[in-house]
Chains A and B, each alone.
Chain A
Amino acid sequence: MKKYDVVIIGAGVAGALIANELAKKGRSVLILEAGVRGPKERTDLVGNYLNSTNRSLGSPYNVFPAGVINKAPIEDAPNLPHYYDQDYNQPDQNKYFKSNYERRVGGSTWHWLGNCPRLLPNDFETASKYKIGVDWPIKYRDLEEWYCRAEHELGVAGDHDELDNYFGAFRSQPFPMPKIWPSYSDLLITQKLSGSSDLWSEFNDKPLALMSTPQARNSEPYDGRPVCAGNSSCVPICPIGAKYDASVHTKKAEANGADLLDKAIVTRIIADESGKITSVEYQDWEDKKHNVKGEIFVLAANAIESAKILLMSDLANESDQVGRNLMDHPQGEGQCIVNEPVFPFRGPPTTSGIDKFRDGTFRAKTAAFRLSMGNDGGGRSNPPQGVLKELINDNFGVVLRQNLKARVTSQFRISFLAEMLPSPDNRVTLSPDKDAAGIFRPRITFSVDTYTLNSFAVIGEVMKSIFLALGSKLEDINVKNPSFLPAGHIMGTCRMGNDPKTSVVDKNLRCHQHPNLYIAGASVFPTVGSANPTITIAALSLRLASFIEKQFKPVTQWHQTEKGQK
């Protein structure tokens, strides 16, 4: 096999963006992806979803022809044993790692929701500002230009004026699309909250008010993809491609000349004595081993798998930080019945949020958090099927129909997403057990600490005050969250830092010990703030692609022509 300029491990948004940027510049790029490609048509995936009995996160994706074993297993696969090795008999629900991912060309963005808030300036400096966590080796201003580029690449719809300079997060460019329209309930709630905007002023001086959530779904035709038509199934799949997923960039990368191999599970990265990476070893789904050489290598397999690959390769770990500081954004929900219909289950699952609690001196003691306003009734914990089951104990016919309508159309939920601090004990190691491909499963040790858990009580009170302001009766409010829900935000495990003794990669995402090995994705986040991670992953990936490009000599005309003819 030929030697590539750049070999990228993982075809998620991180890997796909980098591949596309470098292929555009004429670099020879290979992406190795453990999972499958396709099927060709999105409609097949939607068909799997519709035909599935549980409509779970993995239902569109984990459907394989009889006799085919998925050699890139995931935690969420229906009817299969756990993929993570963790203590499932442990009674404390806050001591499991619950988030999962998708392993296929396009990665986990296939089933993401698409929320794209940026991190805030203080999120990069929590140690200096609040004496918690660690500082990033870069600041918000270093990433701002790349955030703008990422918003254009993914196609983010948002309200520039509302967000510009919010908590000091300046925006040098507008979003590429105007905001997604607010839902009926967003508008109603804005109106009902207008008299309560000074609630919770002890947190900071920002009003308690809804803001439009920046989101990677089209409010106008964009990049050859249609406008969101409100199909409301973004998680686990957008039937029309109005929501961004990374198949957009794997396709672009290939069109620009990158090679993409699916069913290619990387098992080892190989270095010479100086620490320079010479090749990677991968195994196909027939269990045949292969080796591929390159100049530069990018590990973009997500926080769990990237750490696993480094541990299997025994590389980049002089600091003993590989696999440590695994984080998620612990979530929860509060629900209420509003005293009038809010008409949920129409449009994207959430269109607005409350960002007021994302920063302030309170963070010295309690986690920052962001609230999402639901357009999906009782949300994950109280779906309408459950309400129906309850109501048919007493009613049928027209009365049932009327009661169901009255209950469900006035159900409203708020969900929260809380900051989590890095801890060396929350970690990924190699399990002694192997998966279907004979590769180590990830062993996970995880526990949500009191910094985050204590915030749940505060968040409960905040949600309650909002529900009361909406006119909900006390007995119709539920804000108890005995344990957290997963966000799917898998972060940490290969943290970025200036000191090789305490971090895995430097500020340019290069492994301290390996001059030609880089890591992309949320695994490099030293801390996680209260922003969904993907727009930051995308910004860091575009910045990394530009840094890598500078390592090469300019591509000659001849090379470009040769590639063009390939």
Chain B
Amino acid sequence: MDELFLKLSEVLTGFNNLSPEAAKLYHQKLSESNAAGLESLLTAFKALLRDPKNDIEERVRQKIWADSTLKSVCQSIILIWYNASINPGSGITWQAPPQFYYDALLWRAVEAHPPAISGGYFGYWRYAPEN
């Protein structure tokens, strides 16, 4: 199930090669607050994988994103990967341990680095990011 979660996470986040370790942690964390919702999302996603037509992102858009219940589970998957934290609705934010925070996708997406980690050498901020 973790592998399926990882595959779906890659589709939802737009990043490849996500960390299996983080996938395991996030899968477990999201299951704690919404096990049933996650289960039905993964079941729906598994069904899509069996159908080789079209690209997977498009199929997710049509079959999963279009369903408001499944979409909201997808959104929490995106948030947990991008922020390395999640507010499961109880009002108390859960924060992943620092090594996951370092990999929060938000910062990679905007070609920056998470605060408290060096982005390079003195003065790197003078230049545009390299990629």
Q: Which residues of B contact A232 (CB under 8 A)?
A: 112-113, 115-116, 119
State whether B112 touches A343 (Cβ < 8 A).
yes
CB of B129 closer than 8 Å to a CB of A: yes
- Determine if B97 and A233 form an interchain contact, defined as CB atoms under 8 angstroms apart: no
Establish whether residues B98 and A47, one from each chain, have CB atoms under 8 Å apart when the complex forms. Answer: yes
Given contacts A53-B85, A384-B106, A397-B14, contact A344 B112 (CB under 8 A): yes
A residues in contact with B97, CB < 8 Å:
51
Cβ contacts B96-131/A at 8 Å (1 or 0 each): 011001000111011111011111111111111100
List, in ascending order, chain B residues with CB within 8 A of A231's CB.
115-119
Q: Which A residues are in CB contact (< 8 Å) with B127? A: 184
Interchain Cβ contacts within 8 Å, total number: 138
Q: Is the interface of A mostly helix, strand, loop or mixed?
A: loop
> Chain A residues with Cβ under 8 A from B106's Cβ?
384-385, 388, 404
Report the minimal beta-carbon distance from A78 to chain B, rounded to whole angstroms. Answer: 11
A51:B128 contact, CB within 8 angstroms: no
B69 contacts the other chain (Cβ, under 8 Å)? no
State whether B115 touches A233 (Cβ < 8 A).
Answer: yes
B129 touches A346 (CB 8 A): yes
CB neighbours (8 Å) of B94 from chain A are 53
Contacts of A385 in B (CB 8 A): 83, 106
Q: Which of A222-230, A263-271, A361-369 contacts B (4 or more CB under 8 A)?
A: A222-230
User: A46-B116, A396-B60 known; A345 and B107 CB under 8 Å?
Assistant: yes
* List of B residues within 8 angstroms of A388 by Cβ: 78-79, 82-83, 106
- Among B15, B92, B119: residue with most chain A CB under 10 A: B119
Is A331 at the interface (CB under 8 A from chain B)? no
Q: Which residue of A is nearest B75, CB measured? A: A392
The contact of B125 among A52, A240, A346, A399, by CB within 8 Å, is A346
CB B54 to nearest CB in A, in angstroms, measures 14
Contacts of A351 in B (CB 8 A): 125
A50 close to B101 (CB less than 8 A): yes
CB of A409 within 8 Å of the partner chain: yes
| Interface pair A181/B79, CB less than 8 Å apart | no
**Interface check A49, CB cutoff 8 A:** yes
Is there contact, CB below 8 Å, between B126 and A182?
yes
Does B12 belong to the interface (CB within 8 Å)? yes
Q: How far, in angstroms, from A464 to B20 measured CA to CA in the complex?
A: 46
Q: Mark out the residues of chain A between 41 and 75 whose CB falls within 8 Å of any chain B CB in the assembled complex.
A: 46-47, 49-55
CA A400 – CA B75 in complex, angstroms? Answer: 11
| B74 proximal to A (CB < 8 A) | yes
**Is B15 touching A401 in the complex (CB atoms < 8 A)?**
yes
A230 touches B118 (CB 8 A): yes
Contact with B along A12-25 (1 / 0, CB 8 A): 00000000000000
Q: How far is the CB of A19 from chain B (nearest CB, A)?
A: 30
- Complex: chain A residue closest to B87, CB-CB: A53
Chain B: CB-nearest residue to A397: B14
0 or 1 for each of A165-181: is its CB under 8 Å from B? (1 = yes): 00000000000000001
Interface residue ranges, B against A (CB under 8 Å): 11-15, 57, 60-61, 65, 74-75, 78-79, 82-83, 85, 92-95, 97-98, 101, 105-107, 109-113, 115-129
Sample of 5 A–B contacts (CB below 8 Å): A343-B111, A375-B125, A388-B82, A399-B14, A400-B14
Given A347-B125, A392-B75: 18 more A-B contacts, CB < 8 Å: A52-B95, A184-B125, A229-B118, A229-B120, A229-B122, A231-B116, A233-B115, A237-B116, A343-B111, A343-B129, A346-B113, A377-B110, A388-B82, A396-B78, A397-B57, A400-B13, A400-B78, A405-B109
